[in-house]
């Protein structure tokens, strides 16, 4: 039963086979690079788009019950490590990219939540969410998907804890700490209003994310069908001990979300890249990007920004090497 759910419902192998059959009926040889690229592109775009829209709707409907003020009240009941864990978990049902997480981070900070909690949220929100769990599961399987999410949450909790214990509250800009709290009307929404809100989130997020899905799937199709496996294996496999460092530093300047990086990761893994190297690339792109760091630099001072970037970079590299060592347990 689980195999059917993973392959036919989440993985949509029926769609993969249908697209392949359709292309062959049109006289396109999917065993050749051009036909294989088209097959990969159409299947991944449709598969990710369908799952994404359904998941955004469900997550947004749930999220409508947890507006910032209510989330603040919930998190204020927890202290210490428990508060950081709560902040990281809250990040799994909030925005899908690092830039859209920052306004909520500002709201939580101005509401007086501990800095460690807000940074645990800021790290986990773009890196880990329910949508990414399902799509990762559909492509890589349950073990890799769950491991990715668990590791992402651990990085978020440790990062928030270290930042809080370092006493870096003074490095948050004054206008953020002193910002007035907005009044939340979302807690009084009717069911129809929540459905309408979820539909609006689907439209808004899809418009923002879809170009990156197209770009990510296009790059994945190129890697999957045109770049020799020996090249990928030499650059990002066992033959290159610095592969994790390379992809992490490569991923930092890029801007994207996890839905755009998954097709690239899928192609890299299929061509012989190590699992940890691929996961480090995904984490670097989704957590650390130039646009999000520019936004964050406007609300925190340079010292705190440097600590945040340094911790995330080192944490992502560490995770990559650990997964490379134990990848036989997952593949």
For the chain (331 residues), the mean pLDDT of every run of 10, in chain order, is 70 88 93 91 88 80 72 71 83 63 73 83 79 78 86 91 88 72 60 88 82 84 82 82 88 68 86 90 80 79 90 90 89 74
| Pair of tokens at residue 248 | 């992490």
**pTM for the complete prediction?**
0.74
Contact 122, 97 (CB under 8 A): no
Cβ contacts of 212 within 8 Å, gap of 6 or more: 256, 257, 259, 260
Helices assigned H by DSSP within 179-190: none
* C-alpha–C-alpha distance, residues 197 and 189, integer Å: 9
Q: How crowded is residue 94: how many other Cβ atoms within 10 Å of its Cβ?
A: 21
Cβ contacts of 102 within 8 Å, gap of 6 or more: 122, 292, 295, 296, 299
Give me the pLDDT at residue 253, please. 66
Give me the pLDDT at residue 257, please. 64
What is the chain's Cα-based Rg? 20
- Closest listed residue to residue 273, CA positions, set 312, 245, 234, 225: 234
| Pair of tokens at residue 44 | 């991944």
- Closest listed residue to residue 46, CA positions, set 217, 271, 257: 217
| Pair of tokens at residue 99 | 């830039």
Sign of CA dihedral 113, 118, 121, 126: positive
* C-alpha–C-alpha distance, residues 178 and 175, integer Å: 5
Tell me which residue has tokens 């994207």: 256
Contact 254, 289 (CB under 8 A): yes
Give me the pLDDT at residue 294, please. 77
Bridge partners of 172, per DSSP, are 300
Tell me which residue has tokens 């159409």: 42
Give me the pLDDT at residue 65, please. 77
Give me the pLDDT at residue 210, please. 85
Per-position DSSP letters for 52-102, written without gaps between them? HHHHHHHHHHHHTT--HHHHHHHHTT--THHHHHHHHHHGGGS-SSHHHHH
Helix, strand, coil proportions of the chain in percent (round to 5)?
80, 0, 20
* C-alpha–C-alpha distance, residues 66 and 8, integer Å: 32
* C-alpha–C-alpha distance, residues 313 and 164, integer Å: 18
């Amino acid at each position: 039963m689980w195999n059917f759910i993973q392959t036919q419902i989440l993985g949509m192998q029926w769609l993969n086979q249908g697209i392949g059959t359709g292309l062959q009926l049109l006289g396109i040889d999917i065993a050749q690079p051009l036909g294989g690229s088209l097959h990969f592109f159409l299947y991944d775009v449709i598969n990710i788009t369908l799952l994404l829209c359904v998941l955004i709707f469900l997550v947004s409907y749930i999220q409508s019950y947890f507006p910032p003020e209510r989330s603040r009240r919930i998190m204020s009941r927890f202290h210490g490590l428990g508060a950081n864990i709560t902040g990281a978990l809250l990040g799994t049902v909030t925005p899908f990219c690092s830039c859209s997480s920052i306004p909520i981070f500002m709201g939580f900070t101005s509401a007086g939540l501990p800095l460690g909690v807000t940074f645990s949220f800021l790290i986990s929100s773009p890196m880990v969410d329910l949508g990414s769990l399902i799509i990762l599961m559909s492509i890589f399987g349950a073990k890799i998907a769950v491991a990715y999410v668990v590791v992402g949450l651990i990085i978020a909790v440790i990062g928030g804890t270290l930042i809080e214990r370092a006493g870096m509250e003074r490095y948050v800009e004054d206008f953020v700490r002193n910002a007035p709290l907005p009044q939340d009307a979302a807690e009084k929404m009717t069911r129809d209003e929540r459905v309408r809100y979820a539909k609006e989130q689907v439209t808004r997020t899809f418009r923002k994310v879809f170009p990156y899905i197209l770009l990510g799937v296009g790059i994945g199709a190129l890697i999957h069908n045109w770049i020799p496996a020996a090249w990928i294996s030499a650059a990002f496999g066992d033959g290159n001990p610095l592969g994790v460092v390379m992809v992490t530093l490569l991923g930092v300047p890029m801007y994207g979300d996890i839905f755009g990086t998954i097709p690239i990761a899928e192609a890299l893994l299929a061509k012989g890249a190590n699992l940890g190297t691929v996961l480090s690339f995904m984490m670097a792109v989704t957590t650390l990007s130039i646009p999000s760091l520019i936004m964050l630099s406007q609300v925190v001072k340079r010292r705190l920004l440097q600590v945040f970037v340094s911790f995330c970079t080192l944490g992502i590299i560490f995770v990559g090497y650990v997964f490379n060592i134990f990848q036989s347990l997952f593949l």
